[in-house]
């Protein structure tokens, strides 16, 4: 296989001259190709067959112990001007960045095969989809890209028709964290990543393309590329509302996207469209419409069980790549929170010993085709996506943020998103549990200056006639003993119900300084064992804590200087004044 696109041919040739692979393989995405790669990886010990009787088609990959998560401190946005990247990104001059990373790419594929992976983000026929090509020396990346994207021949044909594609050059290098860099060149629509084989660092279609590069393109072209799940919620009357929810990494997107309705809400159904990324376009009907650019899930494993999420539990029992989980004596995958079996080996392949820490790495992941999800929505393939009724922002906040509140209007909603904060998780290297500002859950993923990004969000008032309502949720509020006040998971549907009923004007609320909150009577709490004290805490807006919160938001927004849109400052002042 090769291509009629001369730019692609030339780029592959130049990459080969730089990296010196033994051979070049153009991926067609076929089953035969998949089977050959699988065989090769099993032979080399890069994949381990799991118990095929209990988990047919499931394999385990163990990454290098120093390569287990995204590396934000090694991730750069390289624009000609530093201000374009903004204080929210690490920046390097493109010339300097290319010089540094090309030195690492020099000869790095000697003795290896270079795989050329054409892929399409979004349904192949959708005008909203965008294509890319990832060059990589990792067969693990190829197998994952085949699940996560529309990869192979059909994508290449679309690239030849469109004439354009995002260039992604990737090598695992020597996996030395000192020689690891993830670089983005939005002005050239290109990505260069070396030294990691893990997740968002290496599957370039995901965060690098579909968020960092796409957010840049979206600003220029009038749409939004967001770190959001897309879910359809159908009420017992058969009416479906689609929600797009931005929660930071490992804060509940996958779980909410494939929520199993609790017995206390009979007749409700949930349809999954996406669990991580949404591309939103103003539609001809004046509404925002969303597509999921991905075709699979790269989801957090720990905590998944029959009770928390039966759909996920069923989905990953077959044809799944596990990365960095433990295994039982009979080679079944095992992780903390599974609630059955016991580990014999940990994620590094050592005999399990609690003294070494958890059996599964906290950021261990499954890679699985979206179609395997019992709640898969066939509209995932719809070229024009689904209309969004509400946008939900949310994070992990043990204090301050109530269970749910609704923004006054779009402008206020943009402030609610810009003012988001969340406790850090194992999805990125660094300390866990530290509260940090994570606007729109895009701190690690916005490919340009946040101040310009917020202006872009604000501009949708002029682009769409019927904008979604905006809400903020927090499933992670704790009591004074550090226990979660809210049961979460399936019971989150009780909150989604209020959200949808607010969209259709069927539910009540009280107005507070921070927005609209449900009164206890506005929530359908049937079947929930939550006492009046806990509920009061969940719906509490503590003025002193919120004054401090709004002051910190003002301080944070101040970092963006003159570029900050005045409407945002205005919204911040309005809320701060209302708090007294
Ligand atoms: P990324 O893939 O990193 O972007 O994360 P995500 O937002 O999809 O997170 P995911 O749904 O995988 O959840 C991560 C962790 O949060 C898992 O350990 C879950 O068990 C836990 N979690 C998810 N939803 C809830 C909830 O409603 N309540 C509580 N307490 N924990 C939850
Ligand atoms: C995240 O960290 O938000 C993820 C996992 O979804 S990764 O693909 O590694 O970025
Ligand atoms: Mn994510």
Q: Which residue of the set 120, 251, 398, 503 is catalytic?
A: 251
Residues 184, 167: Cα–Cα separation, whole Å: 10
Banded pLDDT at 2 (limits 50, 70, 90): confident
Adjacent-strand bridge partners of 367 = 298, 321
Tell me which residues have their CB closer than 6 angstroms to ligand 1.
Answer: 247, 249-255, 275-276, 299-300, 302-303, 308, 427, 475-476, 484, 488-489, 492
363 Cα nearest atom in ligand 1 = 3
Residues 475, 478: Cα–Cα separation, whole Å: 9
The predicted structure's pLDDT at residue 1: 66
Ligand 3 centroid to Cα of residue 275, in Å, is: 8
Contacts of 579 (CB under 8 A, 6+ apart): 513, 514, 543, 546, 547, 550
Summarize the confidence of residues 254-273 as an average pLDDT. Answer: 97
Pull the structure tokens for residue 370: 């979206």
Average pLDDT value for the chain: 97
Residues 393, 470: Cα–Cα separation, whole Å: 8
Summarize the confidence of residues 541-562 as an average pLDDT. Answer: 98
User: pLDDT tens-digit profile of 405-419?
Assistant: 999 999 999 999 999
User: pLDDT tens-digit profile of 54-85?
Assistant: 999 999 999 999 999 999 999 999 999 999 99
Backbone phi, then psi, for 123, in 5-degree steps? -55, 140
Adjacent-strand bridge partners of 135 = 116, 169
427 Cα nearest atom in ligand 1 = 3
Q: Return the SS3 of 1.
A: coil
**Residue 249, ligand 2, Cβ within 6 A:** yes
Pull the structure tokens for residue 119: 């892929």
Let me know: does 336 contact 303? Beta carbons within 8 Å: yes
Residue nearest to atom 32 of ligand 1 (CA): 252
227 Cα nearest atom in ligand 1 = 4
Summarize the confidence of residues 557-575 as an average pLDDT. Answer: 98
Summarize the confidence of residues 429-433 as an average pLDDT. Answer: 95
Among 148, 226, 251, which is best to mutate for testing ligand 1, by the most ligand atoms less than 8 A from CB?
251
Backbone phi, then psi, for 248, in 5-degree steps? -60, 170
Banded pLDDT at 295 (limits 50, 70, 90): very high
Indicate the Cα dihedral angle 423, 427, 432, 436, nearest 10°. Answer: -30
**In the annotation, is 108 catalytic?**
no
On whether the pTM is more than 0.85, the answer is yes
Residue nearest to atom 11 of ligand 1 (CA): 252
């Amino acid at each position: 296989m090769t291509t009629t696109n001369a730019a692609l041919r030339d780029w592959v040739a130049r990459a080969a001259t730089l990296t010196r692979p033994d051979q070049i393989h153009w991926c067609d995405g076929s089953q035969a190709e998949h089977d050959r790669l699988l065989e090769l990886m099993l032979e080399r010990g890069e994949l381990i067959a799991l118990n095929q009787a209990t988990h047919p088609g499931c394999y385990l990959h163990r990454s290098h112990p120093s390569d287990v998560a995204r590396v934000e401190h090694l991730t750069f946005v390289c624009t000609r001007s530093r201000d374009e990247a903004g204080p929210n990104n690490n920046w390097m001059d493109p010339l300097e960045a290319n010089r540094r990373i090309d030195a690492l790419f020099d000869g790095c594929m000697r003795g290896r095969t270079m795989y050329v992976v054409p892929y399409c983000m979004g349904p192949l026929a959708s005008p909203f989809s965008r294509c890319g090509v990832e060059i990589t020396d990792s067969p693990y990346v190829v197998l994952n890209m085949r699940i996560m994207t529309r990869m192979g021949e059909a994508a290449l044909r679309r690239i030849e028709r469109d004439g354009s594609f995002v260039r992604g050059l990737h090598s695992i290098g020597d996996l030395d964290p000192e020689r690891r860099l993830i670089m983005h060149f939005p002005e050239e629509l290109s990505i260069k990543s070396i030294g990691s084989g893990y997740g968002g660092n290496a599957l370039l279609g995901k965060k690098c393309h579909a968020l960092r590069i796409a957010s840049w393109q979206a600003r220029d072209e009038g749409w939004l590329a967001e770190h959001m799940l897309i879910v359809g919620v159908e009420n017992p009357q058969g009416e479906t509302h689609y929600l797009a929810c931005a929660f930071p990494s490992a804060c509940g997107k996958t779980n909410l996207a494939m929520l199993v309705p609790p017995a206390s809400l009979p007749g409700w159904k949930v349809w999954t469209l996406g669990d991580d990324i949404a591309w939103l376009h103003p539609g001809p009907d004046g509404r925002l419409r969303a597509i999921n650019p991905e075709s699979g899930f790269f989801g957090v494993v720990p905590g998944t069980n029959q009770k928390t999420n039966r759909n996920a539990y069923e989905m990953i029992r077959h044809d799944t790549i596990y990365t960095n989980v433990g295994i039982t004596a009979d080679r079944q995958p095992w992780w903390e929170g599974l609630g059955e079996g016991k580990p014999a080996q940990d994620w590094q392949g050592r005999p399990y010993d609690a003294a070494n820490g958890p059996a599964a790495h906290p950021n261990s992941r499954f890679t699985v085709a979206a179609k395997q999800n019992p709640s898969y929505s066939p509209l995932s393939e719809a070229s024009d996506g689904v209309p969004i009724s509400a946008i939900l922002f949310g994070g992990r906040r043990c204090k301050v943020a109530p269970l749910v509140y609704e923004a006054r209007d779009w402008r206020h909603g943009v402030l609610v998103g810009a003012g988001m904060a969340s406790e850090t998780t194992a999805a990125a290297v660094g300390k866990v549990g530290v509260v940090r500002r994570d606007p729109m859950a895009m701190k690690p993923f916005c490919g340009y200056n946040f101040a310009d990004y917020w202006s872009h969000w604000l501009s949708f008032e002029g682009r769409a006639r019927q904008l979604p309502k905006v809400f903020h949720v927090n499933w992670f509020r704790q009591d004074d003993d550090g226990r979660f006040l809210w049961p979460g998971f399936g019971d989150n549907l009780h909150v989604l119900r209020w959200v949808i009923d607010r969209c259709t004007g069927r539910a009540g609320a009280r107005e507070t300084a921070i927005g609209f909150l449900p009164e206890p009577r506005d929530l359908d709490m049937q079947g929930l064992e939550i006492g009046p004290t806990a509920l009061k805490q969940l719906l509490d807006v503590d003025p002193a804590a919120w004054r401090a919160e709004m002051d910190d938001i003002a301080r944070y927004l101040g970092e963006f200087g003159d570029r900050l849109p005045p409407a945002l400052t205005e919204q911040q002042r309005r809320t701060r004044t209302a708090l007294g």
